[in-house]
Amino acid sequence: MADAPNWYSDRWAQVFLMTHDAAQTQREIDFLRRHLPLPRFARVLDVCCGVGRHSGPLADAGYDVTGIDRDEKVLAEARRRCSRGRFVQLDMRQIDQLPDRFDAVICMWQSFGYFDAATNESVLAQIVDRLTPGGRLVLDVYHRDLFEQRQGVRQFECNGVKITETKHMAGDRLHVALDYETCERDEFEWQLFTPDALVTLAAKQGLESVAACCGCDERQPPNPEVSRMQLVFSLVK
């Protein structure tokens, strides 16, 4: 699809995607299963599913999972890892092309907000249109307040690769550049939200807040000292 920002390189996938912490993944799966209990939320759409880090365990647990991603390379890996799921190459801006409806939609690991505000709202509207009555949406996104406080440059190492990261905010948009010691570079940009802003945006689409937390722990409300937050919504219209 034309105008495809935030395209993740092979280098990024090697460093970050293929070696995700198993304990963190399990916390996220446990959280999803608490808020999407079977059999009520059996049909799940995983938006920006990547290599099936969430699709696979959910399918193994008895969910009927469809994963979409625009990158055929990661979908091939998802199919290899998860024989029970269905994986479709599709840009999230084209969710309205899916013929099916789902009891739940998940969009994890800061995969919502890639585009301008109007397009992000359109993506949300398309997600809502794919939900069955009473269906749920789970978003796992960055907390805007943390990144407003922590801009600048840092150096770190991940899986043996040295990386220089540069972050800055412009309004509600976060720009991140990753410079690898291999002289490769990735650049990403997202629209970020506070919890209240995201609840307000969701309400415009007929979604009401069910839960909001950080660390996939319902005892911990969203915290501007924690980078990511999890919000669960239910379709009421």
Residues of the chain with confidence (pLDDT) below 50: 1-3
Res 21: pLDDT: 85
Question: Quick check: helix, strand or coil at residue 31?
Answer: helix
Pairwise CA distance, residues 106 & 10, whole Å: 24
Residues 6+ apart with CB under 8 A from 39: none
Strand order in the sheet with 207-213: 86-89, 64-69, 43-47, 102-107, 131-142, 228-235, 207-213
- Give the CATH architecture of domain 10-141+193-235: 3-Layer(aba) Sandwich (3.40)
Residues 135-172: pLDDT tens digits? 999 999 999 999 999 999 999 999 899 999 999 999 99
Residues 6+ apart with CB under 8 A from 107: 46, 47, 48, 92, 127, 137, 138, 139, 140
Res 4: pLDDT: 53
Res 40: pLDDT: 98
The total number of residues written for the chain in this structure? 237
CB-neighbour burial class of residue 40 (10 A; exposed 0-12, middle 13-18, buried 19+): exposed
Domain boundaries, the chain: 10-141+193-235, 147-185
